[in-house]
Each structure stands twice: as C-alpha cells, then as structure tokens.
Amino acid sequence: MSLRPTLETRKAIPTMEGAGVKLHRAFGFQDPSELDPFLLFDDFRNERPEDFRRGFPWHPHRGIETITYVLEGTVDHGDSLGNVGTLGAGDVQWMTAGSGILHQEMPHGNARGQMHGFQLWGNLPSSQKMTAPRYQDVTSADIPVITDDDGTRVKVITGEFWGKTGPVDGIAADPQYLDISVPAGQKKTFKIDTYRRAFAYVFEGAAAFADASAPSGVLLEKEVGGEEVNIRDLSGNRTLIRFGTGEEVTLQAGPEGVRFLLISGAPIDEPVAWHGPIVMNTQEELQQAMRELNNGTFIRPAH
C-alpha cells in the first residue's frame, strides 16, 4: 500500500453568504481542478442566531449537486418544484440540481441557539448537467455507524467502508463521504481507492497526518529519554488537508482526539464554466442559463 502525500494544509477562511450567514470556506471559487469533482466546501458553525438566522433565501442551482450535512440545529428547505422539509441534527440532504432548480435553506439553532453543518458542492459531468432534479433526504437513523475495537467511530454517509454502504446512491462522482472520530493518541490508517481525489476536514480536536515525504511516515514518535523527534504539525479546528495520489491516509489523533470528514470522489476532468451557483462546461451554456433566469424559463417542466 502507498501512503498519500499531504499536498496542502490550510485553514478555512471566514466569509459571508446568503442573506448574511457567517461561515468558513475551506475551498471554492478558485481552481476547480484542484479537488475535482468537488467545487466548494463550507462550514456553517455559529453560536449566535443573529449570525445565521437570515439564511439562504431563494437562489438558483444548475449543473451541480449540493450535499448538506447538519450536526446541530435544523434547516428548513423548499424549492420551486414544491418540495419542502426540515433537516435535523445528523441528517443529510443530497440534492441533484441537474437542469435547474430554485432553492432556499433557512437554518435554525438548537435549544442553546447553536447551528452547525456543512455544505459540499459536487460537479456533474456534461452528460448529466441537464438531468431532472432530484433529492435524497436521509435521516441520521438511516446512516450506518461503525465502531472499531480502539473506539474509532465512522459514519458512512455515502460509499462503501469497512463492510457498510452509505444510504445515498446514484451519484455521478462515485463519492465516499465519511464522518470519522478517532480517540486521543490512536494511530489509524484509512484506505481510499487510488482513482479518487481526496481531502480531510478537521472540525473537532486535532491530529497529525502522515506525509509520504516524511521519514518512514513518522507522526508523533519519541526518542529514548523523552525527547520528541519528527513531530508533524497537528491539524486542528477548521483545517483542510488535501491529499495526493495513493491508497492510504494515516493519522495520529492528538491529546483530545479528533473528528474529521474524509471525502473522496472520481475526477470528472471536463472544462468548467462557473458563475455563482451555476456550473456548466462552456461560457455559451453559462450565458444560456443566465438568459433563462432572466426570462423565466430556467425551470424545466417535469416529464
């Protein structure tokens, strides 16, 4: 097995979206080939309702999939096709925007006024850009959870892992989306198919991720006498780790343990024309979408 090198480690950047929601963006609106098939990843975590209550009013999507994973609080959603619902703590919505949809998401805090969740955008290949929109709303109870002998806990949202298959299916990029918790001090290795692009996002605790360029992939080892050697930087709260090609990701949890998302998918390797929440392959297709938004023909009739 080959260890995936760590290409980059960076903190998520504070930004504002929707009608004034404060969030942190790990990546997005930069080089779309960097984490192809994924385009954007936002961490919307707030302790104050005034930082999120205005939400994400009506906005269009075309040519992508949006994946919303709620940890705390709830999110009410509705769309131009008449779908409405509420995501609770631990729930996931995988929305395939396809040919076009108008959508809104309005977050509400928990009993302590806290809100926490993630949104990931996945690209669609040209052959599926104009497919009919669809939803997969998954409750927390339907997401398999695996606990290893050392206390490591993995929620399998989509893809196959340790003999379990996540409930979200039929996604173009064949993604794997895992929510992983590793106890303090434990060293763990996770296998990822070599054809996938992969990243981790740490949001609780901290961990040292092994790098193939480090001597023997050393993490947190000590010499006799207690002098620390080859200490790798601990990646902590709101940190993105982008991996290169290989078959394994290895980490050692810090003194408080670590919880992170491990996400991978098959690259699409197609041209990207991108404006806001609309992602097509050419500027002509993008301009067509804008014209349709302006003249009221953006939403295709159901067949």
**pLDDT at 215 (0 to 100):** 54
DSSP string, the chain: --BPPEEEEEE-EEEEETTTEEEEEEE-SS-TTSSTTEEEEEEEEESSGGGTTT-EEEEEEBSEEEEEEEEESEEEEEETTS-EEEE-TT-EEEEE-TT-EEEEEEEE--TTS-EEEEEEEEE--GGGTTSPPEEEEE-GGGS-EEE-TTS-EEEEEESEETTEE-SB---TT--EEEEEEE-TT-EEEEE--TTSEEEEEEEEEEEEEP-TTSGGG--S-B-TTS-B-SPPPPB-TTEEEEE-SSSEEEEEEEEEEEEEEEEEE-------EEETTEEESSHHHHHHHHHHHHHT--SPPP-
Tens-level pLDDT at each residue, the chain (303 residues)? 799 999 999 999 999 999 899 999 999 998 999 999 999 999 999 989 999 999 999 999 999 999 999 999 999 998 888 888 899 999 999 999 999 999 999 999 898 999 999 999 999 999 999 999 988 889 999 999 999 999 999 999 999 999 999 998 766 778 999 999 999 999 999 999 999 999 999 999 999 999 866 655 445 554 333 434 333 457 778 999 999 999 999 999 999 999 999 999 999 999 999 999 999 999 999 999 999 999 999 987 665
Residue spans of the domains in the chain: they are 6-265
pLDDT in the model for residue 214: 64
Task: Name the architecture of domain 6-265.
Answer: Sandwich (2.60)
Q: Are 281 and 272 in contact (CB under 8 A)?
A: yes
pLDDT given at position 135:
85
Amino acid letter for position 299: I
Q: What is the pLDDT of residue 170?
A: 65
